[in-house]
Amino acid sequence: MRIGILTSGGDAPGMNAAIRAVVRTALHTRHSVFGIRLGYNGLIAGDIAPLDHAGVANIIQRGGTILGTARSEEFLTGAGMKKAARTMIEYQLDALVVIGGEGTMRGADEFSRRYPVRLVGLPATIDNDLYGTDFTIGFDTAVNNALEAIDRIRDTASSLERIFFIEVMGRTAGYIGLTVGLASGAEEVLIPETPTDLKKLSRSIQHNIDKGKKTNIVIVAEGDEAGNALEIAKKVKKLTGEDFRVAVLGYIQRGGAPSARDRVLASKLGYDAVHALRRGISGCLAGEVNGKTVYTKFRETYRRKKKIDRRLYKTLKTLAD
């Protein structure tokens, strides 16, 4: 086979480890691999070059993606997909491995339905919101990046005895917020999956202050229905009269070297993606559930909602009391 590989959408730590695994597994099994730059845009434009062992040397520890990534509006059109199909014919590509999140899998699903393309996806998004895998590549690193920042902020919060509202990524999913909230010992976590009652939140904060608690850390997922961290902080101040500080962690959550867990997950799934194509498996996401690799049809990965672990939320509320 001649296999094309691309990374699409937002970058996630561990994408390079996945690229490396796909390339080296393919070469080991005597297949050729071609790197496609800047996601589906590169597939449309023909920005493609061969990848060999040397091309993926010393990248497993690097964040980001050596292939570059982008969101492609053109690929969502019939004309864009037609150009991409022509590129595959021109470069004699037999199959594609696409690495990314929900938008990447939507594009892969539509492309594989319109054209006879052999396609396997790898789940790489810090949001951990793809159905068909317990964890996505990049999630563990993002949580640890956020955790390190929150631990530092808690030192300041304790010294100043102020309320800190810390905004983490998660426009539609609260996996980062919930996980880092529990790991950091936060007093409150506000995520899209649970309703936010600002009056109840304000009473809880006031109760903590009255009983002598010196820190109040509130983790806010950017997609919470009550607003972003600053908006919520202002509303809480009106209800409590307490001063506050806001920290928006932003893109530092995406950067840096991937954790060991993300490197291992990316390596295992990259290896399995190549062997899936060799066995004729396509049109699906290669994910890991309960420690085993499973293959989920593209459409299910974004149509079915991945649920948060309510036990984690209950645990956090109990331990923060």
Active-site amino acid positions: 127
Tokens of 3: 């296999």
Cross-strand bridge partners of residue 292: 289
Instruction: Map tokens 């001063």 to a residue.
Output: 243
Single-letter residue type at 256: G
Angle at 61 between CA 60 and CA 66, to 5 degrees: 65
Write the CA distances from 53 to 22, 49, 129, integer angstroms.
11, 13, 32
Tokens of 85: 């199909």
Cross-strand bridge partners of residue 48: 36
Rounded CA separation 81/97 (Å): 16
| Inter-residue long-range contacts of 234-237, CB under 8 Å, 24+ positions, other chains counted | 235/198, 236/163, 236/165, 236/198, 236/201, 236/202, 236/205
Angle at 18 between CA 86 and CA 290, to 5 degrees: 115
Rounded CA separation 263/97 (Å): 17
Tokens of 131: 């159905």
Tokens of 258: 């991937």
Tokens of 197: 């009652």
Which residue from 129, 179, 187 is spatially nearest to 158, judged by alpha carbons? 187
Mapped onto helix, strand or coil, the DSSP state of residue 37 is coil
Angle at 225 between CA 220 and CA 230, to 5 degrees: 45
Rounded CA separation 32/21 (Å): 13
